[in-house]
A and B are shown apart, each in its own frame.
Chain A
Amino acid sequence: DIVMTQSPDSLAVSLGERATISCRSSQSLLKSSNNKNYLAWFQQRPGQPPKMFISWASTRESGVPDRFSGSGSGTDFTLTISGLQPEDVAVYYCQQYWSAPITFGQGTRLEIK
């Protein structure tokens, strides 16, 4: 199974500041034939199901604010939230969909400082 490891486990950032979450996979998620990374990011607000908001490592879903950006390739990926807003308080998960079983990172809890 591909192991996904996130850091940090929790993060407190002031409103308007930048939050950065890292995700590392135990094997490359880059498919050379299409140059795509099979990596998604999910946001889970309290009491709600998770919601995918970035796929292919850097493609924002429709309606996702541009303060959210994903980057990285191969085994190392980063989620950056520029200009933290109160509604961004959530747990964030990275997920690989390169191979079964689909696996997730342990999650990063983002709070307001």
Chain B
Amino acid sequence: KNEVEQSPQNLTAQEGEFITINCSYSVGISALHWLQQHPGGGIVSLFMLSSGKKKHGRLIATINIQEKHSSLHITASHPRDSAVYICAAHFDGLTFGKGTHLIIQP
């Protein structure tokens, strides 16, 4: 069965802190997506990766295929990073994790 687990479910941190969100999946995948959903509800695709590491600004995503695990890191976090972060594993289609609710306090 294709399952995607995210942790933590909720995370509150202070501005400037280094943030890590984890994602594990149950079976082999072709790719993994990290998405961001703001309080208004829109969804933005942050990364799609199938191996190694990708970086965009203050965001870094890594994936370990052997361990079936991916992490999303945010450096120098800012209140505008507050959102729900969702990982989605590409099996036949996308299977989504339940999301991590991140709040960055000033």
Q: Do A and B come from one complex?
A: no
The chain A residues found within 8 Å of chain B, CB to CB, are: none
